[in-house]
Amino acid sequence: MTLRISNAVRSALANQVTTAIDAGAGAGKLRIYTTAQPAGPDTAVGAQTLLAEFTLADPSFGAASNGVITLAGTPRSTTGLAAGTAAWFRVLDSNNVAVADGAVGTSGAELNLNTLTISVGVNVEITSGTITMPGS
C-alpha cells in the first residue's frame, strides 16, 4: 500500500514550513548558490559560491492550499553578490537556521528567477516560488 496524506494535513505541514522560516525577530532569507545542492538543509553549504541573498516578506509565504505554499511579495529583487550560474536555493529563518533547500530555474522550478546567470551588482529577481508537501 502507498501512504497518502489528506490535503488538510498537507496544508498544515506546509504552514509549519512558513512558521519555521518566519521564526526569529526578523524576516527570513533566501540564498542562491552555484554547483551541486547538498543532501539537505541540515548539511553545511561547504565550498559554494553565494550568488545572491533575498530578504523575504514577513510572513514569507501565503496560507497553504492543497499542501502548497506560495512565496509572498513576488516579484522580489536584489543585486548579485558574485558571478555564476544559479543551481539551487536555501531558505533560512532570521537567525540563519536552514529550513529548506530547492531547485532554481526560470520556469517550472520550486523557485523561478528572471535569469540563472547572476553577475555582481546586477539585478536578479524572483518571479515565483512554491513549496509543495507530497500527497502520496
Q: What is the mean pLDDT of the chain?
A: 96
pTM (2 d.p.): 0.94
Using one digit for the tens of pLDDT, what is the confidence trace for 88-100? Answer: 999 999 999 999 9
CB 77 within 8 A of CB 88: no
The pLDDT, as a whole number, for residue 15 is 98
The pLDDT, as a whole number, for residue 69 is 98
Compute the average pLDDT of residues 56-68.
97
From the list 108, 107, 118, 110, the residue with the least C-alpha distance to 82 is: 118
Query: What would the grid cell of residue 107 be?
Result: 520556469
Compute the average pLDDT of residues 92-117.
97
CB 19 within 8 A of CB 64: no
Residues whose CB is less than 8 angstroms from the CB of residue 6 and which lie 6 or more positions away in sequence, other chains included: none
The pLDDT, as a whole number, for residue 49 is 97
DSSP assignment letter at 19: H
Using one digit for the tens of pLDDT, what is the confidence trace for 16-60? Answer: 999 999 998 999 999 999 988 999 999 999 889 999 999 999 999
